[in-house]
Amino acid sequence: MIKWFLVLCCVSAIVVASSACPENNVNPIDVGKKQLQPIRIHHETVTSTRVPLKPAFCVDLVFDSNPSTGYTWRHEFQPAHSWVSLHQCGVVPPNTALIGAPSLEMWTFCADGVDEVQHEATQVVEFVYERSWSNEVAAKHTVTFVLESE
């Protein structure tokens, strides 16, 4: 009985975790886009990260996560997004069969609307690690994308 309860909790947490990634805003990455090295976000020790991004480039931001606890990352553009777009996001499962093991969340952002902005533009994206049904915030992290000329 307890085993089924744990399985049910984990499955429902994974379903909640997948809803943190806005399905309707996810676009496939164009073949012409260049991919930068992934950036591992260490939200436990650093509260902000500066990410240089050139036109036609994409970058993966990787956060530690544990959806089995109900916590997931949520993002918000500050102000509304302009030249940076979210293209993909999701949970990368752990390399273990251990129930409740921590995993990673990967968010892929691309410099898309570059034609519409001036050089040296910035775009701030606020990330919040929280449970969707609670007001309790476990962590916050600010990512500032900086447009670099080619």
Report the candidate in 11, 43, 13 with the shortest Cα–Cα distance to residue 126: 43
- The pLDDT tens digits for 83-100 are 888 888 888 888 888 888
Range of the domain at 8: 2-147
For the CA atoms of the chain, what is the radius of gyration? 17
- The pLDDT tens digits for 24-44 are 444 545 545 677 778 888 777
Instruction: Say which CATH number the domain at 51 has.
Output: 2.60.40.2020
For residue 126, the one-letter residue type is: E
H/E element holding 72? strand 71-78
In this structure, are residues 13 and 93 in contact, taking their beta carbons and an 8 Å threshold? no
Highest mean pLDDT among 8-12, 37-41, 127-131: 127-131
Q: How many domains does the chain have?
A: 1
Q: Which two tokens stand for residue 106?
A: 């990967």
The runs of H, that is alpha helices, within the chain are 2-18
The pTM assigned to this predicted structure is 0.75
Model pLDDT, residue 43: 77
For residues 108-135, give the mean pLDDT: 83
